[in-house]
Amino acid sequence: MARQLRDVVFVDGVRTPFGKAGPEGLYAETRADDLVIRCIRELVRRNPSLPPERIDEVAIAATTQIGDQGLTLGRSAALLAGLPKSVPGFSIDRMCAGAMTAATTVAGGIAFGAYDVAIAGGVEHMGRHPMGEGVDPNPRILSEKVVDPSALVMGSTAENLHDRFPHLTRERCDAFAVASQDKVAQAYAEGRIQPDLVPMATRSVEQGWGLATKDEPPRPGTSMESLASLKTPFRSHGGVTAGNAAGLNDGATGAILAAEEVADELGLTKKMRLVGYGFAGVEPEVMGVGPIPSTERAFRSTGLSVEDIGLFELNEAFAVQVLAFLDHFGIADDDPRVNPYGGAIALGHPLASSGVRLMTQLASQFAERPDVRYGLTAMCVGLGMGGTVIWENPAWEAQ
């Protein structure tokens, strides 16, 4: 039986404010699963024309699937969010690209006709669950030299990029980081980030209940001078600092994806249309270059090129990693198409949740820019991978 693939649209996306991981952070005493449950509930609230029983799947990513990030989180979060018991769910893990992979996975099911509507998202509580907690890496990975030992330490992989691309200096990375902080501060001042945030209740034994309404990590007013004084924890006289890399963070994201014809039927918004995507592997010890081949793969499968892309949402795990991508594609460090609202260096990077943050921010920019037809979300991924998703702007007006 011949099947006709359906177009997939991004209907809506939300996220909790991102917090700093650790005992003083926003969510130090808040459960990880409650973060993503809040996102699911908010998606349902914001889209009243979507009957909950029409949701066909819930895919939730977490890098550390243990404790309150375990127990088949997609299913347990769906139940706790009040979705009908008929709605199934599952968990997914591709480290930093978890939520991105959740979105592309359900999108494939929608295009194939297995689902009409699905929720995809991710959560990471790095305060409760440090990256790698409870894992038992096979000793052959190192003993048989499958990877360089530095491949298992993300900061060290970023230092390896400085070795491979010596023109990507610490000063250049610091300048990119300052720009990210400045753009986030401006986006907040203009009210561009707040619409994506869902207020999140927080608890503290000492202080009682609170309400998180904005991101905790940004450091407005960051200067080159202040960054120059920071230590390089992964290597003496290295290039990676706490100022030009994303921190350790807690937070969750969620998005609704649907077949375009179903979105029309239900009266749902169509903020973006999926064009194509690609994932690729690279040497794990230089995992930061992963978005380069994944983007090239996405271009090959869609017939597009970098010249077609009007907006880029690149995850700023490390400034050096973003700059390697920009250099490869001939894009200036300060190109206004890149991360117009700033990125993870300022906002934070709760690992598996970040892919949907990129999508949600791109959707907001599409609404402001009917002159832009195509946008791209991309990120590097631990153990040597990259992920890229290309989107079309439904509001595009042909010039």
Burial class (CB in 10 A: 0-12, 13-18, 19+), 324: buried
Positions marked active-site: 96, 349, 380
What is the full DSSP assignment across 303-369? T--GGGEEEEEE--SBHHHHHHHHHHTT--TT-TTB-TT--HHHH---GGGHHHHHHHHHHHHHHH-
Note the maximum CA span of the chain: 65
Task: Spell out the alpha helix ranges (H) of the chain.
Answer: 32-46, 73-80, 98-112, 140-143, 154-164, 170-189, 224-228, 260-266, 291-302, 319-328, 344-347, 354-368
What is the identity of the amino acid at 164?
Answer: R
The answer to whether 379 and 315 have CB atoms below 8 angstroms apart is yes
Which pair of tokens denotes residue 238? 């290295």
Q: 387: which residues sit within 8 A by CB, 6+ positions away?
A: 94, 97, 100, 101, 104, 277, 278, 279, 290, 291, 294, 355, 378, 379, 381
